[in-house]
Amino acid sequence: MQLNPYAKLGHMLFQLDRQEHLAMSVVQIFPRTEEETAALALPVSPAAPPEAAMTSSEKPALAPTPVAAEPLPASEPYPLDRAFHAMLARFTGGISPLALSLAWLDWSSHLAAAPQRQMEISRNILRDTGRLAEAVAHATSPEQKPWSVIQPQSRDRRFSGPQWETAPFNLLAQAFLLGERWWHDATTGVRGVSHANEAIVEFSIRQMLDMLAPSNFAATNPKVLEKAFQSGGENFVFGWQNWCSDLMRLLSNAKLTDDAQFVVGKTVAASPGKVVYRNELIELIQYHPTTAQVRPEPILIVPAWIMKYYILDLSPQNSLVKYLTGQGFTVFAISWRNPDARDRDLAFDDYRKLGVMAALDMIGLIVVGRKIHALGYCLGGTLLSIAAAAMERDGDNRLGTVTLLAAQTDFTEAGELTLFINESQVAFLEDMMWQRGYLDTTQMAGAFQLLRSNELIWSRLSHDYLMGEVAPPNDLMAWNADATRLPYRMHSEYLRKLFLNNDLAGGRYHVGGRSVSLSDIHAPMFVVGTLADHVAPWRSVYKIHYQVDADVTFLLTSGGHNAGVVAPPEEAGHSYQVLTKAEDAPYVGPDEWLKLAPHVEGSWWPEWTNWLAARSGAPCDPPQIGVGDAADLPDAPGNYVHT
């Protein structure tokens, strides 16, 4: 019997599939049975770290304990490829080499096809070289002033001080800065290169140049040489001791919070309170009132789970929690449990259900019938905005106000973090997390350090190891070192749905099987951006203005992602701008906003608490601490903060 061409094709593919045992069929004409698929799956099991040190009595009592990670399901595609990528990630620091290669190929090929651009770059090199040569020729002239060819940018502290104004060090610094400028010109503005690839190439070149700065080497750093002559080389001995101390801390996995100066529950995260609710993901802390009467509407703090919750409850002198209770507010805060390999399948929406919604339900039992002021910080703010939109969609009006601190709801301009976010990089990260079940703390910390490598890596190298000095640790540094892990599924969904696809801003994000829109939010909003934020640029945070149908008070404060938020009134050097846009008022762009918003010296905390007070009821007696069996739960800061 004569077979038609389609039948022949199917027959050939089927024979090829049976002979070579391919993982996936090219044309799924003959689907495999479960037995065949299982036989093809490689027996790769994710490595599980030791469990967090918790006694059986401390395990969550209100929900089942997460089940340990099972071997890779048969439906997982290409397990050998994923295992290879996970192994490769150990040598690349979690950065996809293919993503870098594609970016460099895009840039180099377009530059090679742009002869006029090449000529322009060459002319700049010849011009700058001539000016530098002239400066070298007149280096000993008394009329020759330092930085005659190029000056460091105002935020560049590597070449600060009079030592860098003398020859030959000044000439070395100028030569380096000229090289930096040349490479910046060469890697940017090449016609045809995608914006994302251009940013990757420019960023990677900047990292390599930062490493080669003359300030990083003893022989070319006049401050180090001066210190060596003054101390007889003692600075190098102290630098060696500092290096050994850091190495021992790294090998022992010690934290700054292990130091007696910064102990969680004693010197940091020390505001008095009690855990009033616990499930497998959160502990809800209710803080004790410090005033005779409090506002009837409580405050719920939803922190990011990328780091520990106590960024807003550091030392007593800079604790936002302590400040709020002192202003007569009842404060609740979520403390997230640090996940491990058993939690690999925790979804992003689980953080909404087990975190925000569970906390709101418990607060509703403690403070009955009252609106709640919800505050979300960083990723916690993104989660809170999703929860608020879903609640409004479903007719749940428990939120009285919504406050977002350095939180993004549109990720099209999400700062330099987007350098690590593209399809190739996300797939590489997913393969790395697939083997472990989570994103390790070192990957996240390394990404943040690269964003500010001058301040966080190379300046510290020069200060600690070459100068032989040690910067005194502070509570913010201790908190920053107390990092957490991120579950495989949650982080994958976060990167794909929010960063890559920008589903939330596009109205495509689903909660409960239905899409949510930020335009459903009608509760008054107080949104804080920080001027020098590398994680959540304030212009990206500002986009909330045209996403919600609500009164939006936007405040732009000095400082960065953390230091700008932790701004106690007693601390000098803070300033901010603030302006309110009514729900029905026309949109004002960020540049116009900068011109219109009044400038205020001081901390933004009083501005916010006054805003909250204007939207709260008259003071009344404080509510009870917890309900039901809360007496069996620990005092603040709880147990999860130690995991």
Residue showing tokens 């007496």: 631
Query: What number of other Cβ atoms are within 10 A of residue 418's Cβ?
Result: 19
How confident is the model over 574-594, as a mean pLDDT? 96
Which one of the listed residues 378, 478, 504, 544 is annotated catalytic? Answer: 378
Residue 178 pLDDT class (50, 70, 90 cuts): very high
Check residue 435 and give its pLDDT: 84
- Specify the amino acid at residue 228: A
Quote the percentage of the chain above a pLDDT of 90: 67
Q: Which two tokens stand for residue 388?
A: 């608020």
* Domains (range + CATH), the chain: 1-43 (no CATH), 273-412+502-642 (3.40.50.1820)
Give the separation between CA 547 and CA 505, rounded to whole angstroms: 7
In tens, the pLDDT along 421-455 reads 888 888 888 988 988 899 887 776 666 666 667 77
Is the pLDDT at 233 greater than 80, yes or no?
A: yes
Q: Is the pLDDT of residue 52 over 50?
A: no
Q: Which of 131, 128, 136, 215 is nearest to 173 (CA)?
A: 215
Residue with the two structure tokens 């996403």? 547
- Cβ neighbourhood burial of 90 (10 Å; 0-12, 13-18, 19+): exposed
Q: What is the pLDDT of residue 449?
A: 67
Rounded distance between C-alpha atoms, residue 389 and residue 86, angstroms: 37
* pLDDT of residue 30 exceeding 50: no
Residue in 412, 418, 406 with CA at minimum distance from that of residue 530: 406
Q: How far from the centroid of its chain's Cα atoms is residue 27's Cα? A: 42
Query: What does the alpha-carbon distance between residue 9 and residue 32 come to, in Å, rounded to a whole number?
Result: 17
CA angle 612, 351, 405 (to 5 degrees): 35
Contacts for 92 with CB less than 8 Å, ≥ 6 apart: none
How much is the pLDDT for 256?
55
* Secondary structure of 450-475 as H, E, C letters: HHCHHHHHHHHHHHHHHCCCCCCCCH
Those residues whose C-beta lies under 8 Å from the C-beta of residue 381, and which sit 6 or more positions away, are 302, 304, 375, 404, 405, 406, 407, 408
So what's the pLDDT on residue 90? 79
Q: What pLDDT was estimated at residue 12? A: 43
Minimum mean pLDDT range among 199-203, 276-280, 319-323: 199-203
Residue 98 reports pLDDT greater than 50: yes
Torsion of CA 343, 411, 361, 486, to 10 degrees: 20
**pLDDT tens digit string along 628-641?**
888 899 999 999 99
Q: Which of 247, 245, 248 is nearest to 469 (CA)?
A: 245
Calculate mean pLDDT across residues 531-555: 95
Q: Give tens-digit pLDDT for 359-398.
A: 999 999 999 999 999 999 999 999 999 999 999 999 999 9
Question: Would you place residue 297 in the very low, low, confident or very high pLDDT band (cuts 50, 70, 90)?
Answer: very high
Give the N- to C-terminal CA distance of the chain in Å, as an integer: 69
Per the annotation, the verdict on 378 as an active-site residue is yes
Q: What average pLDDT does the segment 80-107 reach?
A: 87
Q: What integer pLDDT is reported at residue 325 of this predicted model?
A: 98
CA angle (244, 248, 250) in 5-degree steps: 115
